[in-house]
Chains A and B, each alone.
Chain A
Amino acid sequence: MEAALSVLGMTRIEVRTCSRKARLGTAIRTVLLSAMLMAPALAAGAEEAKPPLRLCADPTNLPFSSDDPAKPGLYLEIGQAMAQKLGRSVSTNWYKSYFGKRTVRETLLSRQCDAMVGLPLVDDFMGPAVIFSKPIAHEGYALVAAKDRKIAGIDDLKGLRVAVQYQSTPQNLLAMRDEIQKVTVLSPEEGMTALDQGKVDVAFIWAPVAGWLNKTAYAEKYQVVSTEGDGLLWPTAIGFAKASGALRDEVDGVLPSLQAEIAALFAKYGVPNGAPVKFGHAATPSAGTSEPTTVGQAADKPVQTAAVTGDVKAGRETFNGTCAHCHGPDAVQAERKINLRLLKQRYADDMEATFWKTVHDGRPAKGMPAWKDVFSDDELKNVYAYLQSVQETGGSN
């Protein structure tokens, strides 16, 4: 519920900066509504609405983060919990994190966001440019296998087929061990598939994803044994740009009160955060991932997928009154990137889902505001119907 309040708080700011006139009535209604709903928060001490806490996150990287509101991911939920403690709402800047340091450079260090949850607390991680909160957890690699298999150390892997991720510490670690048959996989997903299909006996893969998949796709069928050692386990923290020392201190101030919540979130996503097994040492493996604490279902509403019926004429009116400001009257637009007549060509079957996501949440980095609290879904449905009626057709192989 408080998360919903935060979203409204953010919307108010965006509506204010909007130069439209036609929809001012709606905007005012929204402002009033959000002010009303925010009253309890105001009474609790915040004298005025603080700007939203801007988080940078990968839109397609579960269990850590995702732009699917039904499954925001561990890092985003931690960010939301943290922001709530700080009396701030959350906005998200999406950027895929295939190249970790570049992602940090292009987002956090380019002032596209205030914080990034889940950076490794390592002294030489990007030098002094990035500063960190206190650690929130430990993350690393895990051995995944059937629950009855003993995997307490490297010797237990002798003679077995072991999935290792390409260019990873486990791959390096086992490289010179000819008695272990390595099967190279590109991702933890592929490692879990190989395990499930019986192509390997053990998967030595990235623990958070292994735990998440074990919980969501494999009904906790496997044991996920965290490992530790050089390059196998790291403390994880929240990262900030060097200039954000004050914010970092604020976050450090509220972290102790969030520990229980953070632990519950790790459990919710099946991400191991328990005591790891020292790899190479004999030790009793834990029975599974960290204790699965029961946490309520995500309260967010599911992705909107309104039926494709709508009033084209009304939609056009709305479009030309508002959207045309950037996208051109009747959606005629020479700049290809914002030419909405190409939506069908570009997104094909994903056109509708993309429309709702973009219109609801906006693309703040590109100047597209979020409209979900300005227009009703019925009004937006009309806009969609109008856009459908003006799609260009084109062919390619």
Chain B
Amino acid sequence: MKPRSGIFFAGVSLVAMLLAGVGASSANDSVTKAASDPNGWAIAGHDYGNTRYSPLKQINSENAGKLQLAYSLSLASLRSNESSPIVIGKTLYVSTSWGPKYVYAIDAATGVRKWTWQPDIPDDVLQYACCDVNSRGVSYADGKILVGRLDGKLSAIDAETGKELWTSTVVDYKQGSVITSPPLIVRDKVITGFGGGEYGVRGSLQAFDLKSGKLLWQTFTVPAPGEPGSDTWKGDTGLHGGGAAWLVGSYDAKSDTVYWGTSNPGPWNTGVRSTGDGNFGKLTNLYTASTLAIDPNTGKIKWHIQGTPADAWDYDGVNELLLTDLKIKGAETPVLMKADRNGFFFVANRETGKVISAEKYVFANWAKKWDIKTMRAEEDPDKRPGPGHPAKDICPNLIGGKNWQPMSFNPGTGLVYIPTNNVCMDWSVSDVNYKRGVFYLGAEFPTKEGPGGFLGELVAWDPVANKKVWSIKEDLPFNGGTLTTGGNLVFSGNLHGDFRAIDAKNGKVLWSKNLGSGIGAGPVTYSVDGKQYVAIVVGRTASLPAFLGDIGKKMVAAAPEGGSLFVFALQ
């Protein structure tokens, strides 16, 4: 398999396809089959490796200027619509914000609705959810649609009829834990995490039986006192240590390994759970702000990479692991890639966990470099906030060099397309005080613009040479995820609602259309009866800007709230 040959697949989906049917080590056959259909979009991230790469090329850099609206669908739910639709055969499934309020199954070519599912989401979910009422999509396996919900539940729906098959409780949402991302399905197991790292939870991943919804295993992302790794926490603090796995997982069939990122540790004050300064020694707060490799059969943690030991900046390590094969120093290497919130782009061997490179992909000043030998960052002590030690002008800020919005990898160009942020902050630990029913919160984290006169940037990144190849600067942060295709294209939206087709090789904008509300979601593409479509969900965020002061005000002013699916095709 040559990653740059371009025409077919990003690495892992091919691997998964080849291994399908081998037996015990295979993925879920129905998922593998759907993911190997070049016309479909089987998983929110396209395939088990979250590549968001489709080989389709009917729409390409020659004709993208002729894209026209095929149809649109009102999602009937405003704000924070962050769903990546999935397409199985000729049916497109899309979830909305607020719970989700609805899941729709529509004819992928015409938009005609097949069914609508409306779960009973309690009225008060927003009152518990930390970071808005988002849903990032649904998952498919064995004729079922699986949905993680804001009220901490996981539901299975019949993909044909929209009838609810089972609903299981994953976590009590009233402790501030919500589910906003689609689960990962490996064989008979539906694996999901949940959010709420700041509010005293102990993060965990859990697997539910695909058929019955029964809990099969639960793995805490923070060891209990006495377990290996528990000595990385001060006192009993690990029991409320965060490490929530709230974004999406990835899966490698060859090594039969699930990968998942974990959130920041809690509480924010590092003095409580570590030493409070950069000399934290072994008090690194495992396994928070980390990448975990997990055995899907048992949930056992095989190994980990901690991107931000003893995190002091809210640098969640949740960003998705993108799995592919790269030619590194002449050798075809199975890798995982993560654009970490902390501003470093991690490339590691996904079979061994060995970090190959970790270089800055955005402006970052909290650390001079990330040393792959010591597996630690070389920090700037001035930029590490601690008790009695406020820090100023830390970059990136707490939304990170990249937030949840997904990146994509094109094996044809060899580039990763990353929606990045260029925002900095001041931080004073003693200011932070979140408690139920108590309004004594202190100051919010003052937000500052990063250097260079822009706040966001779509970066085309060479993960082997570790350099930026081209970029498009944005006047706002928190822009949409990306899709890349065999047609030499990148698709991406921004907070103004501009949805663009971009030449994947050189960054030239070939086509742009304003869709009326801000875009956070990643686009998807698929083909029905020989015709290729590109679909994007719009509907800007509403809660996040409240954390960002004047920048937040600009984000809100950039476009109205919204909630729609738009689907484009060539005339």
Contacts and interface: CB of A to CB of B under 8 A. Distances in A.
Interface in B395-452: 429-430, 432-444
Contact of B387 (A105, A167, A172, A181): A172
Nearest to B164: A396
A172 B272 contact: yes
B38 interface: no
Interface stretch (A21-29, A116-124, A218-226): A116-124
A292 B300 CA distance: 55
A125 B439 CA distance: 9
Main secondary structure of the interface of B (DSSP, over half): loop
Contact of B271 (A106, A124, A175): A175
Interface residues of A, number: 48
Nearest to A176: B271
A168 B430 contact: no
Given A166-B240, A172-B272, A172-B430, A95 B127 contact: yes
B200 A166 contact: yes
A125 B235 CA distance: 33
A96 B435 contact: no
B235 A181 contact: yes
Nearest to A342: B120
Contacts of B199: 166-167
B433 A175 contact: no
A172 B435 contact: no
A98 B120 contact: no
Given A101-B441, A102-B543, A187-B436, A96 B240 contact: no
B546 A175 contact: no
Contacts of B198: 167
Nearest to B436: A98
Contacts of A64: 437
Given A96-B128, A99-B130, A100-B441, A168 B200 contact: no
B276 interface: yes
B25 interface: no
Nearest to A336: B118
Given A186-B240, A206-B438, A234-B440, A96 B127 contact: yes
Contact of A397 (B128, B168, B271, B546): B168
Interface stretch (B262-270, B369-377, B457-465, B520-528): B262-270
A175 B240 contact: no
B489 to A, nearest CB: 39
A374 to B, nearest CB: 24
Contacts of B546: 101-102, 105
B439 A100 contact: yes
25 contacts: A61-B436, A96-B127, A97-B439, A100-B437, A104-B439, A106-B126, A118-B439, A120-B439, A125-B439, A166-B200, A166-B240, A167-B269, A169-B430, A172-B271, A172-B387, A175-B269, A175-B276, A175-B387, A176-B276, A183-B236, A184-B235, A184-B236, A186-B240, A187-B436, A397-B169
Given A100-B440, A175-B272, A346-B120, 10 more contacts: A96-B127, A97-B438, A99-B434, A100-B441, A167-B433, A167-B434, A169-B433, A172-B272, A175-B234, A397-B168
